[in-house]
């Protein structure tokens, strides 16, 4: 009704008055307004594209606000959980959290972006969270990865394992993950025991629950500062998001 009323006013039509301050549109006026709207849109179809563009902007802004609220509500688990690996600068000024799957092709390409950021930005704090969404083999690889983290308190061996498994050819599964762990000198017998532990189960459950709360449904996905970034957006876009978190601008 409000939509029609605006067009009625724009078209110079008089609205039929009712009691008090309320106004209504008659059936004849409604037909006339609909005709005006249709004729205008047919003559100016670019308006539809403009409207869609504005709608997309509004939806993106609304989605960003929802993401920011979810990040705020779950900040402690996102940034400071004991069930995650921290790389880069542990005291860095910007948190860069990645949810990844070892069988995600986009994650493999995004790995180079992460290492470049670690190299070029000494103030970034990297947090890695297993998010196995691409099938049973991904879950197997993630379980091994968590067991690697349990065996390596420094995170250095985990990062070596992470890079080798992520950049290796073929499907990542339990066998491949164990082979990588053995290659870098970890105790695979202990990993086999730890795979079935509550710590492994709870770690993956935590990541999956976080992803659900944040509205993530694919990999890679990031939490950078207070914002969520979905997809392998490339190094430049990641830097812009980091700068936005750091100084409020895409270029600091």
Distance, in Å, from the CA atom of 14 to the CA atom of 32, rounded to the nearest integer, reads 12
Same domain as 195, residue 114: yes
Q: Is there a single domain that holds both residue 37 and residue 97? A: no
Q: 92, 123 in Cβ contact below 8 A?
A: yes
| Residue 17: pLDDT over 50 | no
37 and 94 in a single domain? The answer is no
Angle (CA) 127 132 138, round 5° = 120
How far, in Å, CA of 7 to CA of 36, rounded? 8
Q: What is the pLDDT of residues 184-193, one digit of tens each?
A: 999 999 999 9
H or E stretch at 218: none
- In this structure, is residue 23 part of a structural domain? yes
- pLDDT by residue (tens digit) across 19-31? 445 457 788 888 8
In a domain, 19, yes or no: yes
Query: Backbone phi, then psi, for 17, in 5-degree steps?
Result: -85, 145
Residue 6: what pLDDT?
Answer: 52
Q: 197 and 131 in one domain?
A: yes
| Backbone angles phi and psi of 122, in degrees to 5 | -70, -5
Instruction: Please enumerate in sequence order all residues whose Cβ is within 8 A of that of 2, keeping only pairs 6 or more positions apart, or say none.
Output: none
Q: What would the two tokens of residue 111 be?
A: 């790995």
In a domain, 60, yes or no: no
What is this structure's pTM? 0.77
Instruction: Let me know whether 100 and 26 are in one domain.
Output: no
User: Residue 207 is part of which domain span?
Assistant: 75-247
Please report, for the chain, how many H helices and E strands are present, in that order. 11, 7
């Amino acid at each position: 009704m409000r939509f029609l009323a605006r067009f009625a006013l724009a078209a110079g039509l008089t609205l039929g008055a009712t009691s008090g301050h309320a106004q209504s549109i008659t059936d004849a006026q409604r037909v006339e307004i609909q005709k005006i709207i249709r004729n205008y849109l047919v003559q100016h179809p670019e308006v539809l594209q403009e409207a869609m563009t504005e709608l997309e902007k509004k939806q993106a802004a609304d989605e960003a606000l929802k993401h920011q609220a979810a990040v705020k509500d779950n900040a402690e688990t996102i940034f400071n959980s004991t069930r995650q690996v921290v790389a880069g600068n542990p005291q860095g000024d910007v948190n860069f959290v990645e949810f990844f799957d070892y069988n995600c092709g986009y994650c493999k390409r995004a790995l180079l972006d992460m290492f470049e950021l670690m190299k070029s930005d000494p103030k970034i704090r990297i947090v890695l969270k297993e998010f196995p969404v691409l099938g049973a083999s991904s879950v197997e690889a993630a379980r091994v990865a968590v067991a690697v983290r349990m065996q390596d308190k420094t995170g250095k061996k985990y990062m070596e394992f992470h890079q080798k498994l992520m950049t290796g050819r073929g499907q990542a599964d339990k066998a491949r993950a164990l082979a990588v762990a053995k290659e870098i000198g970890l105790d695979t017998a202990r990993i086999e025991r730890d795979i079935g532990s509550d710590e492994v189960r709870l770690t993956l459950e935590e990541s999956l629950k976080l992803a659900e709360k944040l509205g993530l449904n694919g990999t890679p996905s990031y939490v950078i500062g207070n914002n969520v970034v979905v997809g392998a957006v490339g190094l430049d876009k990641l830097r812009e998001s980091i700068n936005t978190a750091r100084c409020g601008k895409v270029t600091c």
